[in-house]
Amino acid sequence: MANMEFTWQNHSGKKATVKRILANHGVSHRMIAKLKRGQGNVKLNGEKTVLSALVGQNDKVTLVLPPENDDERILVSHERIKVVYEDENWLLLDKPAGISSVPGPSNDHDTMMNRVKGYLIDQKSENLVPHAVTRLDRFTSGLMLCAKHGFAQGLISKQVQEHSMEKRYLAVCSGFVKKDHGIIDLPLKKEDNGFRRIVSCDGQNAVTEYWVRERFGNEATLVECVLHTGRTHQIRAHFAHFAHPLISDELYGGKRNDACKRQALHACCLAFDDPFSCKRLRFELPLENDMEHLLGELRCINCD
């Protein structure tokens, strides 16, 4: 099986060690430790070298990593996935509502990660361990990013931790949201003996920014949200706290609507800095049919 190779050129004007060049390009301490254990190697201008070697101006450093073997703990599903974007490092998916993002106790055989593994096998990929970069609740639809190998996941982890990755959602809230724009800065924690998240002074920091995109009388409001933190159920819990639970989000008190029988929440936009191409990648995804039908129904009610 072919190794993966990633090459960078020293344009700093100064000499530096191979280790420093790698660190400057996001190679983690954990990856450096793996190299020291022989799990991969490095080259200087095409020749195998050591981490302490000096790199001159315009010299090229290449990180060589073995392909990731099959992880038997992740079962295979060959159910179809919708691919929005793909290259050698990333797989951006259109996740439908009703499917979990990653395996768990209640479902270990047909989640998005199980399906991605089946997709990689069908594509005869040499890396067969999918890595979820972003996750969505089971009944939330929209854009979900996967890394095709652990090195890519490691490089982008800083953007995830620092929330510099742009994640936008469209949500249909119950009732009339008064402010055209707002920032909900309220800590969240898991409810005792339950699955819900609630606002609590001893919870984790949680910040949701929103803009009203359309109002449907006193019945409902379409809002666009940006997450400045990434807490579980963040949008759902924040709007429920202000008596605006999402339509059909029965866990948080939302009234069920047959046009959209799951929480009316869709990940509509995702943008991140690709550490390999050094370009900002931005993607948008239209609403799923059920949310479109919901909006159409609400517009008709409002017209009446």
Give yes or no for residue 32 having a pLDDT over 80: yes
**Same structural domain, 57 and 77:** no
Summarize the confidence of residues 149-165 as an average pLDDT.
91
Task: Determine the straight-line distance between the first and last CA of the chain, rounded to whole angstroms.
Answer: 64
Beta strand extents in 60-180 (DSSP E only): 60-65, 83-86, 90-95, 131-132, 141-147, 166-174
Summarize the confidence of residues 1-16 as an average pLDDT.
88
Choosing from 137, 180, 273, 290, the catalytic residue is: 137
Q: How many domains does the chain have?
A: 3
d(CA 24, CA 61): 12
End of a domain among 158, 179, 209?
Answer: 158
Q: List pLDDT tens digits, range 70-121.
A: 888 889 999 999 999 999 999 999 999 999 999 998 889 999 999 999 999 9
Q: Is 137 a catalytic residue?
A: yes
Helices within 17-149 (DSSP H only)? 18-24, 29-36, 112-122
d(CA 160, CA 100): 20
What is the CATH number for 72?
3.30.2350.10
Residue 146 domain-assigned? yes
**Same structural domain, 177 and 263:** yes
Backbone phi, psi, residue 43, to 5°: -125, 150
Residue 282 domain-assigned? no
Q: List pLDDT tens digits, range 168-221.
A: 999 999 999 999 999 999 999 999 888 899 999 999 999 999 999 999 999 999
Classify each residue of 215-231 as buried b or exposed e, where b means 16 or more C-beta atoms within 10 Å of its C-beta: bbeebbbbbbbbbbeeb
**Same structural domain, 122 and 231:** no
pTM summary value:
0.91
**Same structural domain, 259 and 215:** yes
Q: List pLDDT tens digits, range 96-108.
A: 999 999 999 888 9
**Same structural domain, 47 and 75:** no
Range of the domain at 38: 4-65
